[in-house]
Amino acid sequence: MSTDTNAAPPARDSAMPRTTLSERVAAKLGQLIVDGVHAPGSLLPTEPMLEKQFDVSRVTIRDAVKLLANCGLVKVRHGSGMTVQPPENWQYLDPLVLFAHVNSPRSQKMLNEILEVQHFAEAELAALAAQRRTEASLARMTELVEQMQTHIGNHARYTALDLEFHEAIAQAASNDLLRNMLAPIHRVVRDGYMLTTELVGAPARSLEGHARILRAIEQRDPKAAREAMNEHLDLFREHIDMRFGATGGTQQLRHEASTPS
């Protein structure tokens, strides 16, 4: 394998699904940008240098750079090179950017923002679900809550059902934009759900919250559904802080997100 003595240190892998070589290279380059190894306004190494650094073809590098450009991390000017863009140009909900931030040593602020976005979006989705749910979607949500009660002692199964319940609410809300916006965020907080179920009494408190959300949606009460979801997500954040401390929780989520699933 080729090596480059001037190459930057290897970037951490993120939890973002990567199926092609160009996507893997883009994730590593994106990580270096978010970590500040390649600062805003600076030029990325030339294509030949990147080929040598990652031991890949010119085509792979160009495809990877296109992915970085698409999410606002770099701007390509023919004849001028590849310039790292300022953070205000980055597409923060693009999975490549989102997971690079989760894996960054400077991830505390981003993870706080992720939890805030989840809080606002899921509360509104619950309110919309209360207005728009069908009998079929209500039956599915009811089934999931019943299964959560059955599997309350199985942390992995309970977490999977928990996420399915939140997805069922998003489907019942019939707002594809909000639902799609939350998809990468759910991948980040998924491990937080698993880790907090290990707290004594946490699954039971979580189940009570799900039951309150379900009742409000069943009664077609958007205000109550929003309030129930807000209380449920407040509890999740409380459990994160109880499990790991006010800052340790986000540090642990960052560690879990960097572990391949």
Q: Are residues 127 and 252 in the same domain?
A: yes
**End position of a domain, from candidates 42, 68, 101:** 101
**Neighbouring residues of 210: CB distance < 8 A, sequence distance ≥ 6:** 145, 148, 162, 165, 232
Q: Are residues 19 and 130 in the same domain?
A: no
The whole-number mean pLDDT for each consecutive block of 10 residues of the chain, a chain of 261 residues, reads: 40 53 94 92 95 95 96 91 93 82 72 85 97 98 97 90 95 93 80 72 91 98 97 87 54 45 38
What's residue 69's pLDDT? 96
What does each C-alpha distance from 8 to 32, 48, 166, 236 come to in angstroms? Answer: 8, 15, 40, 38
What's residue 106's pLDDT? 64
CATH number of residue 236's parent domain: 1.20.120.530
Instruction: Quote the distance between the C-alpha of residue 229 and its chain's center.
Output: 19
Range(s) of the domain holding residue 63: 1-101
CATH number of residue 16's parent domain: 1.10.10.10
Q: Are residues 86 and 127 in the same domain?
A: no
What's residue 182's pLDDT? 87
Q: Are residues 8 and 96 in the same domain?
A: yes
Domain count, the chain: 2
Instruction: Quote the distance between the C-alpha of residue 48 and its chain's center.
Output: 33
Q: Are residues 92 and 149 in the same domain?
A: no
Q: Are residues 1 and 31 in the same domain?
A: yes
Q: Are residues 131 and 154 in the same domain?
A: yes
Q: Are residues 11 and 90 in the same domain?
A: yes
**End position of a domain, from candidates 101, 120, 151:** 101
**End position of a domain, from candidates 101, 116, 136:** 101
